[in-house]
Amino acid sequence: MERRLNKVLFLKRALEIIPGGLSWSIIIGLIGLSFLHPVSGAMIIISFDFYWIIRTVYLTTLLVMAHHRLSRQRNEDWLARCRDLPANSGFPELYQVIIFPVYNEGLEVLRPSLAALSDIHYPKDKLVVVMAFEERNAHAHDNALILEEEFSGRFGAYLSTFHPDGLPGESRTKGANATWSAKAVRQFLDERKIAYEQVVISCFDADTCVDKEYFGCLSYHFLTSQKRHQASYQPMPVYNNNIWQAPSFARLVEISSSFCQMIESMRLEKFVTFSSHSMSFKTLVEIDYWPTNMISDDSVIYWKGYLHYNGDYRVIPLYVTVSLDVAYSSNIWRTMLVQYKQKRRWAWGVENFPFVVQGFIKNKNIPLFNKLRRSFHLLESHVTWAVWAVILVVIGPLPIFFGGSFFSQTAIAYNLPKITGLLFKFTLFTSLAWIFLSWTILPPRPKGISWFKHVLLILEWIFVPFIILIIGSAPAIDAQTRLMFAKYMEFNPTLKGNKVL
């Protein structure tokens, strides 16, 4: 028994080391090659530059396609489409449960989320809203009472749950809180004899303001999808809540994050849940809820479904938006730190790799090809995240500087900066598309905000190379290195617009 446990632990540690080890090997290997064999180093860098040009063009095309779908579908009357469904579709019996796990966010964060929810284009009597507080938060009970007083009458049901601190087997994560409240919802549904199949559950970040059509769109896709219970439903996150107030640096990073998510939505075979998402309550119960000891609960829940249904589980993109807060702080340095920590938390999604591969080893029903493909995608995405900016910005010029006099006389030494320059021209070209698209997803300019901010929104894209340096690879390297050395991260909520208590 002990031997088997050691074997499992060894495998887990080995899998934890692989992503960071691979990223560091690539970085150190390329740096070493730039000194020891600069011609080979330059050839690899040119190959990577060329790969990056093609990848950038490809992904920008996907972004344009996703944006086209978003602009076409976000203004549709989804509720009307739900009502047009056949009577046996199940729409009249469908309930929507919305959980807001609250860590220490204050009322100024929670009120707009609930206000947006009470303003949606959907029957409110079918909504069960759960404010999931942490018991350890000193303000939890007071805030719960205030919000209950303000909002409980606006929905079909309104629950406040309080997740006790330090339960066995749990870490201080959002998933643990969400799971606790989902179990309370289960009890609530059992008492009212509501079948789990008739319930869709959404787990939203505390600052999530839903689009008015979100639940109509979600219901329509849920009711019309084949194997509706074997899917998660992913809206497009945009960071519009405070985008006009946020500093350029943070705004750019978050817009880029939104765009990355939109691009991912076009790559269904790789698409994984992120941040606020929805799924069948029946499925949630079957796969034993969100993980209670992992930070990246939003993506792990997808993998739990994937493993439970032997690979027959998918994420359906919903081209409606949920709006979140841009993470920023009082000055540029603190904002950088806040952004860095937030991206590091996202990059901590690398913990999925050992979880998923271990799951694949145990599960004999998923085809080997699918296991290999999904493992490769997961590993490749995290390793690319950790190394791309380092290769482009730091390692790219190294052969020129340290290649020596022999290398400087070669044709490749002359061509390397030219090809790298071409890469940046291409990046600039694609940036124009990104600038235009970012403009179209902006909310209306609030009163008191100068028109000059519109101009600033375009000019600020010149900071992109600078941002790449800070937010590009460093958080991913940091997260992977921590996982390599078993320095496991704890959940820390992101400071959003100075609103955390």
Partner 1 sequence: MYGFQKIRSCLFYLSLFLFFAGLPFILSFALGYKFNAHSLKFVKTGLIFIKTQPAAAKIYINGKLFSEKSPASIHELLPGTYKVALELANHYPWKAEVEVEAGKTSRVDKVILFPVRPNLQQLNQEKFSSFRIDVEKKIIYYLDQEKKVVYRSNLDANNFEDIASLPDKFAQIDGWEISPDKRKLFIFNQYQINISFFDNQVDYEYPVSPVFLEYRQNKIIDVFWHSDSYHLVVLTDKNVQVVESRQGALPINLVELNRGTPGAFYDVKEDVLYFGDRQRSADGSFYNNLYKLELSANLYLLERLIAQPFGQAKSAQNGEAVE
Which span sits near partner 1 by CB under 8 A: 129-137, 265-273, 292-300, 486-494? 265-273
Question: Closer CB to partner 1, residue 265 or residue 283?
Answer: 265
Task: By CB under 8 A, tell whether 61 contacts partner 1.
Answer: yes
Which residue type occupies 99?
A: I
Tell me the closest approach of the beta carbon of residue 39 to partner 1, in angstroms: 8
Tell me the closest approach of the beta carbon of residue 235 to partner 1, in angstroms: 15
Total of chain residues touching partner 1, rule CB under 8 A: 28
Task: By CB under 8 A, tell whether 57 contacts partner 1.
Answer: yes
Q: Is the dihedral of CA 113, 275, 198, 317 positive or negative?
A: positive
Structural contact between residues 109 and 204, judged by C-beta atoms closer than 8 angstroms: no
Of 402, 258, 244, 269, whose CA–CA distance to 322 is shortest? 258
Question: Closer CB to partner 1, residue 55 or residue 141?
Answer: 55
Task: By CB under 8 A, tell whether 409 contacts partner 1.
Answer: yes
Q: Are strands 314-323 and 157-163 parallel, antiparallel or unpaired?
A: unpaired
For residues 431 and 90, give the distance between their C-alpha atoms in angstroms, rounded to a whole number: 45
Query: Binding mask 277-306 vs partner 1 (x if CB under 8 A, - otherwise)?
Result: ------------------------------
H-helix or E-strand containing 73?
helix 38-73
Q: Are strands 127-134 and 209-210 parallel, antiparallel or unpaired?
A: unpaired
Q: Which letter, b or e, does each residue of 50-84 get, where b requires 16 or more Cβ atoms within 10 Å of its Cβ? A: eebbeebeebbebbbebbeebeebbeeebbebbee
Task: By CB under 8 A, tell whether 266 contacts partner 1.
Answer: yes
Task: By CB under 8 A, tell whether 368 contacts partner 1.
Answer: no
Task: By CB under 8 A, tell whether 462 contacts partner 1.
Answer: no
Q: In what order do the strands lie in the sheet with 95-101?
A: 157-163, 127-134, 95-101, 199-203, 277-280, 231-238, 314-323, 209-210
For residues 112 and 132, give the distance between their C-alpha atoms in angstroms, rounded to a whole number: 16
Question: Closer CB to partner 1, residue 313 or residue 346?
Answer: 313
Task: By CB under 8 A, tell whether 54 contacts partner 1.
Answer: yes
Which span sits near partner 1 by CB under 8 A: 35-43, 161-169, 229-237, 394-402? 35-43
Task: By CB under 8 A, tell whether 420 contacts partner 1.
Answer: no
Tell me the closest approach of the beta carbon of residue 409 to partner 1, in angstroms: 5
Question: Closer CB to partner 1, residue 203 or residue 416?
Answer: 416
For residues 331 and 326, give the distance between their C-alpha atoms in angstroms, rounded to a whole number: 14
Question: Closer CB to partner 1, residue 410 or residue 430?
Answer: 410
Task: By CB under 8 A, tell whether 414 contacts partner 1.
Answer: yes
Task: By CB under 8 A, tell whether 412 contacts partner 1.
Answer: yes
Task: By CB under 8 A, tell whether 411 contacts partner 1.
Answer: yes
Angstrom CA distances, 123 to 131, 152, 202, 212, 322, stand at: 19, 15, 16, 11, 18
Task: By CB under 8 A, tell whether 79 contacts partner 1.
Answer: no
Task: By CB under 8 A, tell whether 415 contacts partner 1.
Answer: yes
Task: By CB under 8 A, tell whether 43 contacts partner 1.
Answer: yes
Question: Closer CB to partner 1, residue 62 or residue 393?
Answer: 62
Hey, how many other C-beta atoms are within 10 angstroms of the C-beta on 473?
24
Tell me the closest approach of the beta carbon of residue 369 to partner 1, in angstroms: 17
Q: Which letter, b or e, does each residue of 31-48 get, where b requires 16 or more Cβ atoms within 10 Å of its Cβ? A: bebbeeebbebbebbbeb
- 352: burial class by Cβ within 10 Å (0-12, 13-18, 19+)? buried
Question: Closer CB to partner 1, residue 104 or residue 420?
Answer: 420
Binding residues for partner 1, rule: CB under 8 A, are 39, 42-43, 46-47, 50-51, 54-55, 57-58, 61-62, 65, 69, 266-268, 317, 409-416, 419
